[in-house]
Chains A and B, each alone.
Chain A
Amino acid sequence: MTGIETIAADVWIAAAVASPLAAACAMLVLRRWAAALGVLGSLVILGAVAGLAHQLLLLGPQQLVVGGWDPPLGIRLRADGPAVGMAGITGLIGLFVGIYATAYLRPLAASPPHGERLFWPLWMFLWAGLNALYLADDLFNLYVTLEVVGLASVGLAALARTAAAVAAALRYLLVSLLGSLAYLMGVALVYAATGTLELRGVAAAPVGYAALALMSAGLLMKTALFPLHGWLPPAHANAPAPVSALLSALVVKASFYVMLRLWFELFAPLIGPATAHLPGVLAAAAILWGSLQALAARRLKQLIAYSTVAQVGYLFLVFPLGLAGGSLRPAWGAVLFFILAHALAKAAVFLAAGNVLKAFGHDRIADLGGAVQQLPVSMFAFAVAGVSLVGLPPSGGFIAKWLLLAAALEAGRWGYAGVLVGGGLLATAYIFRFFSHAFRFVPESVLCCGLPRRMEGCALLLALGSMALGLAADPILALLQIGLPETGAAGAGGAP
């Protein structure tokens, strides 16, 4: 615990969690300055994560024992490849979505005392929760951070204050609480069985299996894997665009990230090939069902929300590919890369949809003719991010799908390979379906208002980011694989 490097890592870890918390508290006091504080805070957090990534590349996984109190009563945070990768993508998306929100939420801020002023503290609490969740190193802290993330997300989802949005948020809250409670009961069972909260292997006993079932089901519900996805489309489609972007790009991934940690670290001894195929089957169904619903969607934001339902399916393919006979390392890298690629692309798509909604005053797909000629920048961003969602080169989505497909073929899982390819076809179909309307030529302008330049710029930058992610895939992949869990891949520690 001595040496200048370790101290520096401690500082970065602490800053990544504490600075959004501090910013949130400051915003509650200095309401007038919320937006400025928010952008400033985003930069500070991003800097902390960048410092942490630097430490990680130099020294490998880092940890911080908060206040010097050892677990189980104290809190220990650890920063390995996945955690820093997730925190990094959160920082990047958070910064741009925040800048976007300063323009998007203006009219909301004028109406009663909510809108923008509530957005910022809630988003900062959410950000603190997300960073703490990525870094958490024991079961109970994961529970607390899950709850922080869930409550803050619900607050954000209700921000639009329409009946539909509040109803969807309430529903989201209850689902989220249901999931967390199941998770907490699982924690209690694990503690009963092992007497520890660490993410180490659980012995094969009925209590362990019950914990596995409860925690997994709770997290599946929070991640909205088919058929437990019913709450997601209304909540994501009715929230303001920057909130939709945050929810779809980041929050859904947070609970999946917990699931990933649990299945690969805590429950690894309990999971045989047959069990690992259960999420795989649901994943295939999710890809199919979500894509079909996206094809049938009438509103643009609904289409994008269903696209999230479909894309969440791809994430769960990691379990059959990584735990059912295949080798862990490729599947693990593939799914983390998929998270990053999807987060960037989906955030860009939601922001572009927000621009459409603002400029047209509605988002009914059939009435969006002329969008391409009147919002060329936003539509270009939508198209570039769409390329990543479909999985065409050289986007991040392509690399992610390529890695997943390679893992599937290496493990000899032809069915999953078919699902991957078919899912790409369906995604092409729903993205093209939107563009077939948007490309329609409309002689006169149908926009109801102009857009601030930063709204289009943020969408474009995130979309280009999803492209750049694919171009610079190798170093990012190397970072994500630092500190790979040892199950199934003995000695596969990560060097940059």
Chain B
Amino acid sequence: MTELLGIAPQWLTAAAVGLPLLCAAALALPGRRRVPPQLVAWAALPAVMAAWLLPEGTTAVFGWLLLSARLGLDATGRIFLFFTSALWLLAGVYGTGYLKADRRRARFFFFYGLAMSGNLGVVLAQDMVGFYAFFALMSFAAYGLVVHTGDPEALRAGRIYLTLVVVGEIALFSGLALLAAAGSLAIGDLGAGAVPSVAMLLICAGFGIKAGALPLHVWLPLAHSAAPTPASAVLSGAMIKAGLLGWLRFVPIEAAVSASWGPWFVAAGAAAAFYAVAAGCTQSHPKTVLAYSSISQMGLITIGVGISLFSPAAAAAGLPAVALYALHHGFAKGALFLAVGLLQNAAPGTRASRLAWAGLLLAALSLAGAPLTGGAVAKGALKAAVALAPQGWAAALFMLLPLASVATTVLMGRLAYLMAGRAPGCGRPGAGMWIAWLMMLAPAALLAYAAPADEALSWAAIGAAAWPLAAGGALAGLAWAAGRSSRRIVSAQVPAGDVVVAYAALIRLAARAAAAVANSLSGWVPRVRLPQRLRRQSAAMAAAAESALGSWQVSGLLFLIVVVGVFLQALCAG
């Protein structure tokens, strides 16, 4: 196909990553008034083309780039590239309209382009250093998207986001280096050697932060809801999947050592799936609810990854299921975020508002796995993989998965409740925003008819998929009714980012405890206002030590010690 177009594959892969970068750079140039910011959105086109046209197994080696970077497309990469590129393109087009009146939209699209380049690079990278470099580019550029509005909430979200990004980067840096020491830099060759458990832990945690895995998810509800709506769509739809892709690329899934990690993944995923719904149901901001829903859905995907770790047979079914689920969730969550944005803009009661409501409900149903939607296909694939898990696990998960659908339905009910009670909008979203949204909605809803597995369309499957929805709907309706009669149920609230408050408290507590320990050790320090005093004293001590090191006598003595030390040591060792 690419030959027909007369484009060499390596040019297409290079353009997919390079064009967004170039467009962003063009925005940063001093004469930026000339370059229309929305150009950045269309910079995703080469990536879209690559996803459709490039043959699998394409690799392009860029010897001069980094440590000989390799970009290419494999089976997993194609699925990821398919939804990642589409989401960036559509959300960008949507954003052109959404931010039309925003004076800082050039800045927004600058970061948008950088993050896009990073995300597409992550999908296409076939070597470790390249993957890590693009991952970091994406993570740091997304900070600019999170804090775009500049209000205190966004800045707080940005700060927490950045802290976790830095922690994640360091974990990944060490973990990947350990992995590289055990094997080679090419992604295909990983897992051949034995992988140290430390490396596994660091990699799982490092990518887990991006994927919103449970104890590390705290940044996600804050950041995804603080960002402007098109950025939320790509954060929740596309970038969150980069963490998942990291797991798929670097956790040696078929190696025997990994099997013991399977239960952990399954347990963490199951916990996330339900905990996030519980926390999300107490939120009062629609975008925060959606962010919690992302954590919950990523939990289900994590279960899929865990199952794949159990055995090669399970991996054969589990990995495609995981990729399919990621694809579906990307489109559905993107469509949901954009629908929230549309509804916030459209005046209620109009045809536009009704259309947006219909789309919102359709995407929500699809996310919950309603029959005849893409969600049912994704869930069906996940179930098929679960069947291959060891006996006990399979039985437990068969119980859990429908319950997860129930939970998702309840959460979507909460979203609908919040949207119904929102302040009425008064704008008129442009045609571009509608088209982008509909194109994102279509795959989420219609995936069922594109998939070859037509058993998803059978009556038994429809029934199996329908009852959790009915149960969830009933529960949500009950809660709605109860909420009407007494406001107490819905007013119980968990702060967004839930345990982040606990983490902050823990850090403060640890600091206070350390100060108390230091206090008890040095009884002569007065108890009042100790940390301040301690800090000043330690700073003074460091300064004194430094000026002592700087004096002639001490440095002369040290010089002598070094001379004698090197001499004696070399003599004794030699």
Contact = CB atoms under 8 A, between A and B. Distances in A.
A424 B543 CA distance: 22
A275 interface: yes
Interface in B165-198: 166, 169-170, 173-174, 177-178, 180-181
A253 B277 CA distance: 57
Contact of B169 (A178, A182, A275, A392): A392
Interface string B65-93: 11110000000000000000000000000
Nearest to A407: B181
B459 interface: no
Contacts of B116: none
Given A278-B569, A421-B173, A473-B66, A228 B558 contact: yes
Interface string A230-245: 1100100000000000
B108 interface: no
Contacts of B64: 472, 474-475
Contacts of A216: 562, 566
Interface stretch (B129-137, B300-308, B363-371, B491-499): B129-137
Interface in A387-444: 391-394, 398-399, 401-402, 405-406, 409-410, 417, 421, 424-425, 428
B539 A296 contact: yes
A292 interface: yes
Contact of A405 (B133, B173, B563, B570): B173
Interface string B543-564: 1001001110011001100111
Contacts of B558: 227-228
Given A230-B549, A470-B66, A471-B66, A213 B570 contact: yes
Interface residues of A, number: 54
A406 B132 contact: no
Interface residues of chain A: helix, strand, loop or mixed (majority): helix
B569 A275 contact: yes
A353 interface: no
Contacts of B567: 209-210, 212-213
B181 A217 contact: no
Interface string A354-388: 00000000000000000000000000000000000
A406 B543 contact: no
Nearest to B558: A227
Contacts of A209: 567, 570-571, 574
A493 interface: no
B133 A274 contact: no
Contact of B65 (A227, A401, A425, A472): A472
A270 interface: yes
Given A393-B133, A471-B66, A474-B64, A424 B170 contact: yes
B233 to A, nearest CB: 26
A428 B166 CA distance: 9
Interface string B439-480: 000000000000000000000000000000000000000000
Given A228-B555, A393-B132, A473 B177 contact: no
Contacts, number: 130
B542 interface: yes
Nearest to A267: B570
Interface in A119-139: none
Contact of B566 (A275, A391, A398, A471): A275
Given A217-B559, A274-B569, A405 B67 contact: no
Given A230-B550, A424-B170, A474-B68, A213 B542 contact: no
A84 interface: no
A461 B478 CA distance: 64
A474 B70 CA distance: 12
B517 interface: no
B526 interface: no
A272 B573 contact: yes
Contacts of B483: none
Contacts of A204: 574
A331 interface: no
A402 B129 contact: yes
A405 B169 CA distance: 14
A206 B170 contact: no
A471 B63 CA distance: 10
B549 A227 contact: yes
Contacts of B549: 227, 229-230
Contacts of B63: 474-475
Question: 5 closest pairs, A vs B, by CB?
Answer: A230-B550, A213-B567, A409-B181, A393-B133, A272-B573
20 contacts: A213-B570, A216-B566, A221-B559, A228-B558, A230-B546, A230-B551, A234-B550, A272-B573, A274-B569, A391-B173, A394-B137, A399-B66, A399-B129, A402-B173, A405-B173, A405-B177, A406-B180, A410-B181, A471-B65, A471-B66
Interface of A: 175, 178, 182, 204, 206, 209-210, 212-214, 216-217, 220-221, 227-231, 234, 270-275, 278, 292-293, 296, 391-394, 398-399, 401-402, 405-406, 409-410, 417, 421, 424-425, 428, 470-475, 477
